[in-house]
Amino acid sequence: MTDKNSKSNENSQFLAKDSLQGDLMRLTKKQLIDRILILQNSEITDYLEHELQVHQVELEMQNRELREAQSDLEITRDRYADLYDFAPVGYMTFCKKGIVENINITGSSMLKAQRINIIGKPFILWLTSSCVITFFDHIKKVIETDEKIINEFKLKINNSGCVDVRMESVRSLSENKKSYLCQSVIIDITESKRKEEEIHLQARQLKLITDSLPLQVAYLNADEEHLFVNKKYTDWFGVTFTGVIGKLAREFWSEQFYARIKNHLKLALMGKKVTFEMHSLEADSSIKYINVIMIPDFDINHLVSGVIIIFGDITDRLADEVVDRQRLLDAAHLSRLNTMGEMASEIAHELNQPLAAISIYSEACKRIIQSPQSDENLVISTLNDISEQAERAGQIIRHIRSLVSKKELMLTNTNVNELVKSAMKLLEVELRSHNVQLSLNFFDDIPSAYIDKILIEQVIINLSRNAIDAMDAVKSTERFLAIDISLTTLEEFQVCIKDTGMGLTKNQIDTIFQPFKSTKVDGMGLGLVICQSIVDAHHGSLWVDSKLDKGTMFCFKIPLMAEGFQDDK
Amino acid sequence: MTNEYMIHIVDDDNAIRQSLSLLMKSEGIPVKVYESAESFLNSYKQNKGECLLLDIRMPGMSGLELLDELRDLDISIPVIFITGHGDVSMAVQAMKAGATDFIEKPFDSDYLIRRTKDCLNECICLSNSIELKKQMNERLSRLTKRETQVMNLLVDGKHNKAIAHELNISVRTVELHRAKVMEKLNAHSLSDVVRTSILSS
């Protein structure tokens, strides 16, 4: 009655079922015989028939129940077999000698071999040689300790290289319950290991690159914790890489250092790129000037996940700048002396005006006093005129002295209108002797500019004298010098100096800002170069525009408040 | 003097105009001031006796250009130029162009007043200038040939060094000749030498 088909070669349940049914049969037969012995023959036949029928029904019922139970069991068994075979991880069972006792489908596909070609084989066939000892240790520990043991192995797979696996094992009892087996879960970690190695490689490369930079680089997360630093950074602070990773900025940096940076850092953590310069006191009590750049790092949700901080030592660069500036100041001073030398005769004339007036006033005064109708009020007003002229002479001298004096760069709030007026005062005689008509176009209520007024006045004087000279070749009634002062933006002023001279050729325009190129017979060709350097030092620009036979215009524009100048001192 | 006489002062420097005007008024001479050659030309009216004190360097029309313009317009007003110190070449140019005299800033007021008054009175001016010429010529005749050479070069506006080079003598010798010239001409400055040289011719 048992359905002995198919699947059953390995299963003991079916055998058990057979023996159970056999027992029932035996039991039923015995009961029948007992009852038969009690009954009469005719009765016996009827009774037996009836009993047999009852038994037949009972047996059929039992049989049905048994079949149902068997079917349930088969379903369950199949399910567990599927679970075992199709689990996403490999299952393997080893005996203590490392022979494969069992393996599921995932496991065998991992080894790229048929199950029958694996079971019964020693596992070391698939192990790279460096892993063999670890494997036997693994099995030994599992079987001896009843603990979960985890190791990683590198497997060699036919025709397709190596696979990294993690093996997590516990022990289990063998079927005959006489020995322990090693029951293992095998997980392919090749991909994650590759990724991990890639990340390691990238991190190594990043470190290599950042270490070779002449800058101190650190990455802080949003909690201001150090996540990465380069070698320059660790050297600077005198720590090791591991000694700084994970440390909070406010704990790692000195109190003053953190105090100087924290507000900028806050801004950067709010998502703003920050650049600033600061100075820091070094361990050897020297002062370093540092340029700091903070770049916020945004995650995929556009939130700031950290900040890259780059420190650059700009002490040397600043020192160079100071030297460069000193050179410019020296050159500008020499050029001014040269200009003053050239203008000596004009300056003498300029000074002569008030002196002549003083001498005439004094003579007139003398005569007024000596005359019979001496007018005291006229004498007093004349004396006032005299002192006014003396003051005028004094002003000229002070002005000249300030121009020939050599001094440090001195930025002051300056009214550009007044500066142009003062330069023109000095050029008055020169303008007159060259018969040049001057027109000045001021910008009313011009905001003050933060500039070195002597240097900028020098530029105005230089450009104006060039313009005056450029007009020598045209008729004296056609010599016009115009100076226009304007604001190009709210933060920048412009001065244009326009002449009605012969103009410049294209070639002259191209070379005009080169040193030692002069259009003048006795010119050194340095005036314009110095003008340009002065304007550059004020973060401005100087350019020329010229039309042949129409005239030339030199313009310069300079920020009212040049950036960078404020912090230099 | 009556208002038939008039001094015209043309100078772009206000202080010079004011002070000269005051000086002339203190001498009782009527004065008109102009800040440019153009404004003088625009408002000029002839007087019986007059003199023009003219700044040689001015923006716009210069003193020399005004002088030319006056000659073109046939206006024969005596002109005394006001020149800057050391402006010898311009002074020479002015004298050759027909100026009555020139005077260097800062100037000797007495001399200026004297020369101005001369101009106002043509008779005096004329006789004076004949007298002056005679006196000058007499002085010039005292110079040696070499001294005359040196003087002519000085009047041309040459410096000692250039003169030495031209005459092939040492600078020191030029200086000695120059001192001799000054002494013989009774000159106190180079402009006196220039004046003597030009007025005599």
Q: What pLDDT, on the 0 to 100 scale, is given for residue B64?
A: 87
CA distance A316 to chain B (A): 53
Q: What pLDDT, on the 0 to 100 scale, is given for residue B135?
A: 81
Query: Over 90: is that where the pLDDT of A543 sits?
Result: yes
Q: Are B67 and A443 in contact (CB under 8 A)?
A: no
Q: Which chain B residue has the Cα nearest residue A354?
A: B15
Residue A276 or B49, more confident: A276
Q: Do B22 and A356 touch (CB under 8 A)?
A: no
User: Best of A363, A375, A424 to disrupt the B interface by mutation (most B CBs within 10 Å)?
Assistant: A363
pLDDT digits (tens, 9 = 90+) for A68-111: 999 999 999 988 888 888 888 899 999 988 999 999 988 888 88
Chain A interface includes B105 (CB < 8 A): yes
Q: Do B23 and A354 touch (CB under 8 A)?
A: no
Q: What pLDDT, on the 0 to 100 scale, is given for residue A10?
A: 46
Question: Tokens 């008030």 appear where?
Answer: A354
Q: Which CATH architecture has domain A212-313?
A: 2-Layer Sandwich (3.30)
Task: With beta carbons under 8 A apart, name residues in chain B contacting A359.
Answer: 106-107, 109
Residue A159 or A402, more confident: A402
3-state helix, strand, coil in chain B (%, to 5): 55, 15, 30
Percentage of chain A surpassing pLDDT 90?
31
* Average pLDDT for A478-487: 93
Token pair, residue A218, equals: 């650190």
Q: Where is average pLDDT lowest: A16-25, A368-377, A476-485, B86-95?
A: A16-25
Chain B interface includes A355 (CB < 8 A): yes
Is-same-fold flag (A212-313; A322-568)? Answer: no
Residue A330 or A565, more confident: A330
Task: With beta carbons under 8 A apart, name residues in chain A contacting B20.
Answer: 360
CA distance A362 to chain B (A): 9
CA distance A286 to chain B (A): 60
Q: Do A385 and B23 touch (CB under 8 A)?
A: no
Q: Which CATH architecture has domain B5-120?
A: 3-Layer(aba) Sandwich (3.40)
Label residues A50-88 b or e (16+ Cβ within 10 Å = b): ebeeeeeeeeeeeeeebeeeeeeeeeeeeeeeeeeeeee
CA distance B115 to chain A (A): 15
Q: Where is average pLDDT lowest: A163-172, A212-221, B190-199?
A: B190-199
CA distance B138 to chain A (A): 32
Q: Output the average pLDDT for chain A.
A: 85
Q: Are A346 and A461 in contact (CB under 8 A)?
A: no
CA distances from A537 to A56, A285, A318, A532 (A): 119, 31, 14, 8
pLDDT digits (tens, 9 = 90+) for A319-351: 887 787 778 888 888 888 888 888 887 888 888
pLDDT digits (tens, 9 = 90+) for A134-158: 999 999 999 888 889 999 998 888 7
Chain B interface includes A371 (CB < 8 A): yes
Task: With beta carbons under 8 A apart, name residues in chain B contacting A345.
Answer: 86
Give dist(CA A135, CA A210) in Å, integer: 41
Give dist(CA A504, CA A548) in Å, integer: 6
Q: Where is average pLDDT lowest: A118-132, A341-355, B169-183?
A: A341-355
User: Best of B9, B22, B80, B102 to disrupt the A interface by mutation (most A CBs within 10 Å)?
Assistant: B22
State residue A488 phi and psi, 5-degree precision: -85, -35
Grade residue A7 by pLDDT with cuts at 50, 70 and 90. Answer: very low
B94: closest CA among B200, B194, B201? Answer: B194
Q: Do B15 and A429 touch (CB under 8 A)?
A: no
CA distance B39 to chain A (A): 16
* Average pLDDT for A402-412: 80
Task: With beta carbons under 8 A apart, name residues in chain A contacting B105.
Answer: 352-353, 355-356
Grade residue B123 by pLDDT with cuts at 50, 70 and 90. Answer: very low
State which fold the B135-200 domain adopts.
Answer: Arc Repressor Mutant, subunit A (1.10.10)
Chain B interface includes A203 (CB < 8 A): no
* Average pLDDT for A511-536: 74
Q: Do B22 and A360 touch (CB under 8 A)?
A: yes
* Average pLDDT for A184-198: 89
Q: What pLDDT, on the 0 to 100 scale, is given for residue A214?
A: 87
Q: Do A371 and B26 touch (CB under 8 A)?
A: yes
Grade residue A529 by pLDDT with cuts at 50, 70 and 90. Answer: confident
CA distance A280 to chain B (A): 60
Chain A interface includes B16 (CB < 8 A): yes
Q: Are B150 and B143 in contact (CB under 8 A)?
A: no
Residues 20-49 of B with CB under 8 A from A: 20, 22-23, 25-27
Chain B interface includes A381 (CB < 8 A): no
Chain A interface includes B62 (CB < 8 A): yes
Q: Which chain B residue has the Cα nearest residue A435?
A: B59
Residue B198 or A438, more confident: A438
pLDDT digits (tens, 9 = 90+) for A296-323: 999 888 889 999 999 988 888 888 877 8
DSSP per-residue string spanning A252-301: HS-HHHHHHHHHHHHHHHTT--EEEEEEEE-TTS-EEEEEEEEEEEE-TT
Q: Do A364 and B19 touch (CB under 8 A)?
A: yes
Query: Over 80: is that where the pLDDT of A282 sits?
Result: no
- On the CB side of A47, CA atoms within 13 Å amount to 13
CA distance A486 to chain B (A): 26
Percentage of chain A surpassing pLDDT 70?
91
CA Rg value for chain B: 18
Q: What pLDDT, on the 0 to 100 scale, is given for residue A6?
A: 46
Q: In this complex, which of A368, A389, A392 lies closest to B26 when CB atoms are compared? A: A368
ipTM above 0.85 for this complex: no
Grade residue B62 by pLDDT with cuts at 50, 70 and 90. Answer: confident
Q: Are B82 and B19 in contact (CB under 8 A)?
A: no
pLDDT digits (tens, 9 = 90+) for A219-276: 999 899 999 898 888 888 888 888 888 888 888 888 888 888 888 999 999 989 988 8
Domain boundaries, chain A: 8-86, 90-188, 212-313, 322-568
Grade residue A15 by pLDDT with cuts at 50, 70 and 90. Answer: low
The CATH number of domain A322-568 is 3.30.565.10: yes
* Average pLDDT for B157-180: 90
Token pair, residue A375, equals: 């007018």
CA distance B22 to chain A (A): 6
Class of domain A90-188: alpha beta
A555: closest CA among A504, A499, A500? Answer: A499
Domain boundaries, chain B: 5-120, 135-200
Q: In this complex, which of B12, B25, B106 lies closest to A359 when CB atoms are compared? A: B106
